[in-house]
């Protein structure tokens, strides 16, 4: 394989392509452009059509990484069901479920898109937290997604972090005498034991 000849043909094609894009005043991101070129090559060689570059472009750029899904459709309900099924002591999703149901709107952060599905993260501790539950969306549901056009906490949808509620527990101090032999059973030394050991 003659790489230099291949590269020459590719360079000419890319130069012409970029000139065409610029002449039409189309804006582009290099990583999205690379993804689109790769998809075009795959489509040409295999016949498989992918929308991952289209979805990546939909959620690329500053403040554009968040998707929204309005209530009243099966995708909204699937997201709520997913959060409820993941709720546990380690992952408290109740705050997020309440926010989504109150606002009649789901927001989730775009993660990636491949030929099979789109991956989003549901940040159950708030949009500023990296803790998340992955949620997968089929391309057939792409029409139910919109760009949130901002970050949830900047848009006033949430505070950004869901802090655990601190509960102040009043502890009673028992003023009872304890025999040192009872303490020794638990490996606890008294001050007297330590002083006697030093003498």
Q: Consecutive 10-residue runs of the chain (199 residues): their mean pLDDT? A: 85 88 84 82 80 83 89 96 91 91 94 90 88 93 93 83 50 66 70 71
Tokens of 156: 């006033």
pLDDT of residue 108: 95
Tell me the C-alpha distance between 48 and 32, whole Å: 18
pLDDT of residue 188: 74
pLDDT of residue 167: 43
pLDDT of residue 170: 54
pLDDT of residue 55: 84
| HSE-up (13 A, CA, CB side) for residue 95 | 17
pLDDT of residue 57: 83
Q: What is the pLDDT of residues 28-46, one digit of tens each?
A: 778 778 888 887 887 788 8
pLDDT of residue 7: 87
pLDDT of residue 146: 93
pLDDT of residue 164: 45
Could you tell me what percent of the chain has a pLDDT over 70?
A: 84
pLDDT of residue 163: 54
The residues near 57 (Cβ < 8 Å, ≥ 6 apart) are 29, 32, 36
pLDDT of residue 165: 42
Q: What is the pTM of this model?
A: 0.66
pLDDT of residue 196: 74
Q: Mean pLDDT across the chain, nearest whole number? A: 83
pLDDT of residue 66: 94
């Amino acid at each position: 394989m003659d790489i230099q000849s291949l590269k020459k043909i590719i360079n000419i094609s890319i130069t012409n392509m970029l000139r065409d894009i610029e002449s039409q005043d189309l804006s582009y991101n290099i990583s999205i452009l690379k993804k689109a070129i790769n998809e075009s090559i795959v489509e040409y060689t295999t016949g498989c059509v992918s929308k991952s570059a289209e979805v990546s472009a939909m959620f690329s750029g500053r403040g554009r990484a968040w998707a929204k899904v309005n209530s009243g459709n099966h995708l909204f309900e699937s997201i709520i069901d997913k959060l409820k099924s993941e709720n546990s002591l380690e992952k408290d999703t109740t705050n997020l479920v309440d926010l989504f149901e109150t606002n009649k709107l789901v927001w989730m952060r775009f993660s990636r898109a491949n030929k099979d599905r789109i991956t989003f993260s549901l940040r159950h501790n708030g949009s500023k937290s990296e803790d998340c539950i992955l949620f997968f969306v089929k391309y057939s549901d792409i029409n139910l997604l919109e760009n949130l056009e901002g970050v949830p906490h900047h848009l006033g949808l949430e505070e950004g972090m869901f802090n655990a509620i601190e509960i102040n527990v009043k502890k009673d101090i028992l003023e009872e005498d304890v025999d040192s032999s009872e303490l020794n059973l638990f490996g606890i030394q008294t001050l007297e034991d330590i002083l006697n050991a030093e003498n």
